[in-house]
Structure 1
Amino acid sequence: MSADWKETNNEESEFSFIQEQIVPKKENKTKRIIGIFLITVVLAVIFGLIARYVFCVSESLFNNILGISEKKDTIKFPSIDPGEDSKNQGNVSEPKDNTDKQGEETEDENKTIVIENSVKADVSDYVTMYSKINEVAAGVNKSVVKITSAEKAVDWFNNDYESESITSGIILAKDSTNIYILTSNNKIVSEDNIKVTFQDNISVAGEFQRSDNELNLAVIIVDVSQVPEGTLKKIEVAKLGESYLLNAGDPVLALGNPNGYSDSMELGMITNDSNSIYTVDNKIELFNTNINDNPNGDGVIANLKGEIVGIITQKFKSDFNENINTVLSISRIKPVIERLVNNKAMASVGIIGADMTSEIAKSYGLTTGIYVTEVKAKSPAFNAGIKSGDVILAIEDKKTVSMVALNNILMEYQPQDVVELTFKRTTKEDDNETTVNITLGNKK
């Protein structure tokens, strides 16, 4: 062999491993299948545990959001049979008569309450609930309008400009000639330049009719002939509910400008339903909600039936609840609203008083009456010599048993009517009953 061949052969021998093939080691197929199965089972168990935990947590969360209690065993409240002898029933009181004065059967206070089962809810139920609330709000909004009032003024540089005020209003009535809208009196900056905008953005001129400064309410009228037929078909007269039926905890809607913005809506609940305040010749009821308030906010409060149960007010807010809606209860102010809509003046005596309890009345040798706490200057009462501390007993032959009774009596008269007013001075020097003739004033 030649030297060249040997050298070449040695190189091939040295690098011949490059031509070798690596064959993977054969595995046992049975062991492989068993391994995959075990891994799958373990992962399935882990996934199931995680899913169960997430489901339990989310179910509790959604139940809390929707206010649905978890399913519990049936709870019973036992009652005593009216015919059963209760002498040996420990501290259980005897059953009350379940018949009212008219003989109608009333609900037994001790009636057993049975909870058969609970209802589970998910996100779709939550969405459905809010959709229903939006439907109620949409229905009420057919009665809500935007009112723009503008007045002309002159700035420091003697330039003319227009100051504009925007508020909300609620349609209270509609006849063949006019639409009657209740709004906030202080937001009407000019009685001569008023524009009313309906929900379809159609705007027409409005006319100031009458106001009650004490309650900060005013009625604006719109000529029906100026409103397009299509708009007339869309608007609805508001349904006025009864605020006497409200209770703390009832859900309500605030519509109009509750947060200071036009066409806004807030959802909340009543937090206090037992406030009252004495005003000139009257006593009105107030309630509060947990809805955040705005100093420029106004509008109405509606229940979930779509009924107006209150008018948002800024006038009677107190310092400690400045961020909470204060609302005029609709039931108490219905007579005032009726007067405003019918453009009738309100007769006035001009006093702020307080209802007397039977104990206080007895201390003055009386059975009832109104204790005068303030007499308005230049009012009919002031001109007749009525003073703080006097007790008003009657107007004509009608007893003034309360401030609400006084307001109802005055509803029967007109300004400038002359009536007899009977009062008693509570000082020891002069405690006789006195009757004076007074000329009723015009409440603005």
Structure 2
Amino acid sequence: MEDQKQQKNEFIREQIKNKPVNRKKAAAKVGICAICGVVFALAAAVTFVLAEPAIRKILCPQEEENPDSVNTYIADTESVTESEQSDPDVTSQAQESLSIADYQILQNQLYAIGSQGNYSIVTVTSVVSNTDWFHNSYESEGQGSGVIIQENASEVLILTEQKVITDPSRITVTFIDDTTAGAVMKKYDGNTGIAVLSVAKSDISDSTLDTISIAEFGNSNGVTKGSIVIALGSPLGTNYSILTGNVTSTDNEISTIDHNYSIFTTDIVASKSSSGILINVSGQIVGMVMQDYSNSSEENTLIAVSSTELKSMIDMLAEGKDIPYLGMTVTTVTEKIEKEYDIPEGVYIKEAMMDSPAMAAGLQSGDVITKINGEKVASDTAYSSQVMKLTPGDTIPVVVQRQSADGYSEITCKVEVGVLE
């Protein structure tokens, strides 16, 4: 019965079916959505670009004022990173190693210059015979260095100090190849103690003549504080030494009879009995190292007399000429002294040496020299230059200003030029 009711009502049961999908319409909707998204994104991007500067000014005013701050920070960060990556110990060691290597190279080069210069250096030995209280004979010798300065067809000329020559009759010279030859005194200057020896070429072997070299004089006026110099000869008492250093001062001078000479002080350690020459990095002589003008202080550093200022005298000695001698120590009357002390322009006589030609002629300390042999002199350099032009034995006029109660008055003295033994 129930089965019949169920079959009877089946005709009114509703069946719901899904609506079929229209693929064309779905694709069209997806495309429209995509286009709308792109348009919206473009609009948003344009809006952001246009509004961004204004927003930045409002929100980040400091960043706007310093637009490179980000780049600066990045650069600083990179530099810090590089610094952190480098090893400071390794860098320091590399720099130290490089500087030491450079210094050693420089020293080797200077030593090579000095070694070449030693071919013009000789050892001068003077032997003298003596007798003691018990009538026993013995020999003593003086020794120092010398430098070969000239040669001609018959002789080789050597510059040295008269002080090391105890007996002029027995002088020997030892060259760099250890060969020896006899020498004679050609001339010396009693003021500075500089002497020139002559060695006959006939007493020197051909091989030695081929080995030795002639020293070249440079311009001492080019020497300045800090200049690199090389000391040759016997700066420490041992010949053929090579010492390097720097000039520490060029402002000092020594006052000798008739001449004032510039001296160079150096940082080179030397003995009080040092002698020899000072050369520049070109191997040229720029200074003479002499025992009489050694450093008297406890520092015992080497000093040298300007060779340029000695050159005219050395040339005269090499020619066998006597050095003119008047016998005064002088100084320049500068413009400041002239105004401050009302002293006439010229050369002030500090002292007229005892028994000198100047004293014999009546010149005295306090006089101001204005002319020598008709030539005006306004400085100690001009005075020295005029003295070197004189001839020993000649009588020349020397005009001075002498102070009296009424002021300065002009006086002319006749001076016979002499030679200091």
Q: What's 1:246 paired with?
A: 223
SS in 2 for 1:360: helix
Bigger-Rg structure (1/2): 2
Alpha-carbon deviation of 1:414? 1.0
Checking the alignment, whether the CA contact within 8 Å between 1:370 and 1:393 is kept in structure 2 is yes
Q: What's 1:229 paired with?
A: 206
SS in 2 for 1:161: strand
Alpha-carbon deviation of 1:428? 2.2
Counterpart residue identity of residue 334, structure 2: T
Counterpart residue identity of residue 56, structure 1: T
Q: What's 2:157 paired with?
A: 180
Q: What's 1:443 paired with?
A: 420
Q: What's 1:418 paired with?
A: 395
SS in 2 for 1:196: strand
Checking the alignment, whether the CA contact within 8 Å between 1:364 and 1:426 is kept in structure 2 is no
Q: What's 1:325 paired with?
A: 302
RMSD: 2.0
Partner Cα distance (2:150, 2:237) in 1: 25
Q: What's 1:161 paired with?
A: 138
Checking the alignment, whether the CA contact within 8 Å between 2:344 and 2:368 is kept in structure 1 is no
Partner Cα distance (1:137, 1:244) in 2: 21
Equivalenced residue count is 337
Alpha-carbon deviation of 1:381? 1.0
Alpha-carbon deviation of 1:53? 6.1
The answer to whether structure 1 residue 141 and structure 2 residue 118 are counterparts is: yes
Once the two structures are superposed, what CA deviation does each residue of 1:328-384 show, in whole Å capped at 9, x if it has no partner?
A: 111111111111111111222111011111233356766521111111111111011
Q: What's 2:92 paired with?
A: 57
Counterpart residue identity of residue 183, structure 1: T
The answer to whether structure 1 residue 271 and structure 2 residue 248 are counterparts is: yes
Alpha-carbon deviation of 1:322? 5.0
**Kindly tell me: are residues 434 and 346 of structure 1, through their superposed partners in 2, closer, same or farther at Cα, counting changes over 3 Å?**
same
Partner Cα distance (1:230, 1:358) in 2: 58
Q: In the alignment, which of 374, 380, 385 is matched to residue 357 of structure 2? A: 380
Q: What's 2:58 paired with?
A: none
Q: In the alignment, which of 312, 332, 338 is matched to residue 355 of structure 1? A: 332
Q: In the alignment, which of 309, 318, 321 is matched to residue 344 of structure 1? A: 321
Counterpart residue identity of residue 59, structure 1: A
Q: What's 2:183 paired with?
A: 206
Counterpart residue identity of residue 198, structure 1: F
**Kindly tell me: are residues 322 and 218 of structure 1, through their superposed partners in 2, closer, same or farther at Cα, counting changes over 3 Å?**
farther
The answer to whether structure 1 residue 289 and structure 2 residue 266 are counterparts is: yes
Checking the alignment, whether the CA contact within 8 Å between 1:354 and 1:403 is kept in structure 2 is yes
Q: In the alignment, which of 283, 288, 291 is matched to residue 311 of structure 1? A: 288
Partner Cα distance (1:432, 1:239) in 2: 47
Q: In the alignment, which of 378, 401, 404 is matched to residue 401 of structure 1? A: 378
Share of identical aligned residues, percent?
29
Counterpart residue identity of residue 212, structure 2: I
Alpha-carbon deviation of 1:247? 1.1
Listed as ranges, the gaps of 5+ residues in structure 1 are 1-48, 66-122
Alpha-carbon deviation of 1:277? 2.1
Checking the alignment, whether the CA contact within 8 Å between 1:260 and 1:297 is kept in structure 2 is yes
Q: Please give the TM-score of this superposition, normalised by the length of structure 1.
A: 0.72
Checking the alignment, whether the CA contact within 8 Å between 2:295 and 2:302 is kept in structure 1 is no
Please identify which structure carries the higher helix content. 2
Partner Cα distance (1:420, 1:194) in 2: 41
Checking the alignment, whether the CA contact within 8 Å between 2:263 and 2:304 is kept in structure 1 is yes
Partner Cα distance (2:342, 2:111) in 1: 57
Partner Cα distance (2:325, 2:394) in 1: 10
Q: How does 1:55-134 map to 2 (within 5 A)?
A: 55-65=90-100, 123=101, 125-134=102-111
Once the two structures are superposed, what CA deviation does each residue of 1:216-253 show, in whole Å capped at 9, x if it has no partner?
A: 21111100111101111111110111111011111111
**Kindly tell me: are residues 358 and 129 of structure 1, through their superposed partners in 2, closer, same or farther at Cα, counting changes over 3 Å?**
closer
Counterpart residue identity of residue 96, structure 2: L
SS in 2 for 1:304: coil
The answer to whether structure 1 residue 427 and structure 2 residue 414 are counterparts is: no
Counterpart residue identity of residue 273, structure 1: T
Once the two structures are superposed, what CA deviation does each residue of 1:232-279 show, in whole Å capped at 9, x if it has no partner?
A: 111111011111101111111111101111211111111111111221
Q: Please give the TM-score of this superposition, normalised by the length of structure 2.
A: 0.76
Partner Cα distance (2:377, 2:298) in 1: 33
Checking the alignment, whether the CA contact within 8 Å between 2:156 and 2:200 is kept in structure 1 is yes
Alpha-carbon deviation of 1:157? 2.1
Partner Cα distance (2:223, 2:318) in 1: 25
Checking the alignment, whether the CA contact within 8 Å between 1:147 and 1:166 is kept in structure 2 is yes
Once the two structures are superposed, what CA deviation does each residue of 1:194-216 show, in whole Å capped at 9, x if it has no partner?
A: 00011111100011111113222
Checking the alignment, whether the CA contact within 8 Å between 1:361 and 1:369 is kept in structure 2 is no
Q: What's 1:197 paired with?
A: 174
Partner Cα distance (2:308, 2:263) in 1: 10
**Kindly tell me: are residues 222 and 214 of structure 1, through their superposed partners in 2, closer, same or farther at Cα, counting changes over 3 Å?**
same
Counterpart residue identity of residue 368, structure 1: E
Partner Cα distance (2:404, 2:222) in 1: 41
Q: What's 1:150 paired with?
A: 127
